[in-house]
Chains A and B, each alone.
Chain A
């Protein structure tokens, strides 16, 4: 018999690690799975030991604390790094009839998802409880399929950058803001010599400050929102003044100009980036005046997209966050609409590493309580989550993506990088009668390439005139056919 864990946690970022630690401290048998070779997720991405960094935490706050949690977790839980999860299924319990209809809150009070009567393969009593099967590919080159089973699942898969298309965004030298940050934190590589940072949201500040401290010549930070610039930056509200002031001081020391209501609206170069067009924007982000800035690198990001394919596979209900982004709907214990499945961190709403950790702790404690462990209530933790959630909502409202970005595009601007679909093809699809993102996709093929629409999904939805929808990807990660053939059970059989 394969081992069945009490809890499988997908994601070893701040949310997943905090949740796994709480659950294992409460006595649960926990397995933590992450595709990356090292824990940390995006925020706590750090250098491999081979760098022998004396001050590894110099690149961001809180790394020491995270590593203490990780060490505590390592001695208590099973750790599977280098494991990409491409599918999750639920069997037994009430899962047999499909989970999509499970009502929100059905699990809220119920500690036990076990329901006699439901069966696997029609054998009464084959399971006394629902189990989740997590399908992974292990290893970073020649991958081996591996299935992990658990009675509860915590999804903490985080988010990826949300880019907007503009002419030249496919040129080498144009990176996502998170990508530039990941190069520095994970490999100590400075993304470029002369760098421009553009986009919207508070994340631009640490990216620009990090690049400047690491030796890049940062030619400017162009924030499409935020009319009032740094002096009235929303981070200054709600207790983040010290952090904002820290970034502002770094930018001032390195003489990095910061401009609100400005954005890079075009990137230029033959085979690599040589300069960008920066525009002053009106309130709707339509360019009012432009100028050129020479640079070899652009780090660009318009917020984040939560990675929802696994919860969507399980039928977890989603809701729209303050900015319209689909996120997993959860109750106060981070329970999703599907019994035994929990979610925390950016998957339940983008709010930063501190909130992700606090949510992870709530989730870990709720799983333990639901599985019959004694977990004393911790009202201070719940209050902290409420406070940080309110702060995240305020930031979303302060940094909306405004529709004028569509005016940045030209007919030949690629909307989908993978399938090389230009704006003109998307327009043509609409002329042919495609009235929603799905039909645009079928006609013009944006979002049908390798990245499965992760990079262009937001833009395609906007161009089709609808809000972005939660992703339906039966295979959450591209899988080689040979690996599928090597499975003991095809996924549909569970």
Chain B
């Protein structure tokens, strides 16, 4: 059993599936749409209006509105506070705008690489020492 489940001694009811942009995502009953997506390795599903940048959970409690989705044709729901129900059809703006955040398979490991719609490449790159994520050592003076 996975560690958090051991920690609290959870034996959850059987999982069900919801469909997110046509792909199945497993849900433990009681989880929010956002929690289920995040747990399935899908980290982003909204595409921003101007930069077309990927967004997913940020505040996790319904105040930042970064995680908006459409559920069963009800638009602009906050995924982090919307409890998933069996049979839910979730549509994301990443799918609508054709960014790959959504095309990457739900249930896979990462949210996939974006191809279209991505404006600025994050804030990546310019910092020294970048790349390999060399861990705790490798101090760069500045």
Which A residues form the contact surface with B (CB < 8 A)?
Answer: 35-37, 42, 47-56, 58-59, 140-142, 160-161, 167-168, 170-176, 178-184, 186-191, 213-215, 219-220, 257, 266-272, 274-275, 277, 279, 287-295, 410, 412-413, 417-418, 420, 449-451, 454-455, 478, 480
Contact = CB atoms under 8 A, between A and B. Distances in A.
B114 A270 contact: yes
A243 to B, nearest CB: 18
Interface of B: 2-5, 7-13, 28-32, 35-36, 38-39, 43-44, 48-51, 53-66, 68, 71-72, 74, 76-77, 80-83, 100-101, 110-114, 118, 120-142
B77 A289 contact: no
B8 A289 contact: no
B4 A160 contact: no
Contacts of B113: 270-271
Given A168-B123, A268-B127, A451-B64, A51 B28 contact: yes
Contacts of B126: 410
26 contacts: A35-B81, A37-B83, A52-B11, A55-B7, A140-B77, A141-B71, A173-B43, A175-B59, A182-B61, A187-B35, A188-B12, A188-B28, A191-B38, A213-B3, A213-B7, A214-B7, A215-B4, A257-B136, A270-B118, A270-B122, A275-B133, A290-B142, A291-B137, A291-B140, A292-B129, A292-B131
Contacts of A187: 28, 30-32, 35-36, 39
B127 A55 contact: no
Nearest to B51: A420
Contacts of B80: 179, 182
A47 B30 contact: yes
Contacts of B74: 141-142
Contacts of B140: 289-291
Given A190-B3, A271-B112, A294-B133, 20 more contacts: A36-B81, A58-B9, A140-B83, A187-B32, A188-B12, A191-B38, A268-B122, A268-B130, A269-B122, A271-B101, A272-B110, A289-B139, A290-B139, A291-B134, A294-B134, A412-B123, A420-B49, A420-B53, A454-B63, A455-B58
